[in-house]
Amino acid sequence: MLFEVTLSGVTLGGMYALVAMGLTLQYGVARIMNLSYGELLIAAAFAALWFYSGLAINPLIGLVVVPPIAFALSYAIYRILVQPLVSRAKTRDALEVDSILATFGLLFVIQGVMLALFGGAYFSYSFLAVPLKIAGATVAANRLLALLLAVAIGLGLYLGLTRTRIGTAVRAVAVDPVAAQLVAIDVRTASALAFALGGALVAAAGVLVSMFLTFNANLGVVFTLKALVVVIMGGVGNLLGALIAGLILGLVENYVAVFVDPGLTLAATYAIFLLVLLVRPQGILGRSSR
C-alpha cells in the first residue's frame, strides 16, 4: 500500500517538476511571472483529448505535435504582449507587477475560450489504462509511461541547458541579464526563447497529464499555483530544485489524499508553502542574495 501510494506520488511529483521547470524558465530567465501558465497545460490536455477521441491519434503523437505549437504560441505571446511591458518598465519590480497583471488578463481570455468550447465539465479518455505489477504494487501503465516521458524530457532539458551554447546563454541571462549583455548575449532573444521553451514544456506536461488525470477548463489556475509553489520551494531558476520540490509536493499530496482526506490536498500544498516561506524563503537550493 505505502509503496503503491509512493509510486503514484512520484508520478504526480514528476509532472509537477516538469511543469515547474517550464515556469522557472519563464520566471527565472525571462523574468516574467506568467499567471496564465497553467491554462496552456489545460489547453494542451484538451488538444490531446481532441486528437485521441476526435481524430483517433495516439497521445504520444500529440506529444510530438502539441509542444512545438505551444512553443510558437508562447514565442508570439512574448514578442507581442510581453516585450512592450519589458520596454516600458523602469524597474524589475514594475515589470513584475505589469507582467502579473497582463498575464492575469490572459488567464481569463484563454480560460474563457476553453469554457466556450468545452464547457465546465470534467473530461478524460482511456489510453493504456492497464494495470502493471511492479514489485508487488499495482500502477496504471499510462501513469508509468507519463513518468518515464517526463523524466526523459526533464533530462533532455537539463542537458540542453548545460551542454549547449544556447543553453549556456539562457542560463547566463538567468544569473545576470546586464552582465550577459556585456558578453554579447542577445538578452531579448534568449528571454523570448526561454519563455517559449517554458510554454512547450508545460504543453508537454499537459499532454502527459491528460493520459491519466481527469481535467476541466477551470483547472489551469490550480496547476499554475502548484507550479509557483514548486518554483519558490526549489529556488527560482533552479532546475534541480524544481525537481526535488516537485517530488516532495507530489508525494505529500498523495499521502494526504490517501491517508488523510482527498479534500485537503491543497491545504497540504499551502502548509508546505507556508513552511518554506517561514524557514527558507530563498528555496531549498536557492542562494541568499546580497
Applying CB under 8 A, the residues found at the interface with other proteins are 33, 35, 81, 84-85, 88, 93, 96-98, 100-102, 104-113, 115-116, 221-222, 224-225, 228-229, 232, 261, 263-264, 266-267, 269-270, 273-274, 277-278, 281, 287, 290
**Helix axis angle, 239-255 to 220-234, nearest 10°:** 120
CB of 236 to other proteins, least distance (A): 9
Vertex 264, ends 263 and 267: CA angle to 5°? 140
CB of 24 to other proteins, least distance (A): 13
Nearer Cβ to other proteins, position 3 or 270? 270
CB of 7 to other proteins, least distance (A): 25
Question: Among residues 63 and 232, whose Cβ is nearest to other proteins?
Answer: 232
Minimal distance in Å, beta carbon 64 to other proteins? 30
C-alpha cell at 83: 516585450
Looking at the Cβ atoms of 54 and 288, the one nearer to other proteins is 288
CB of 273 to other proteins, least distance (A): 7
Give 3-state DSSP helix, strand, coil % of the chain, rounded to 5. 75, 5, 20
Q: Where are the alpha helices (DSSP H) in 119-219?
A: 141-163, 165-175, 177-182, 187-212
Residue 139: which H helix or E strand, with range? strand 137-140
Closer residue to other proteins in complex, CB, 4/96: 96
Name 76's Cβ contacts closer than 8 Å, sequence gap at least 6: none
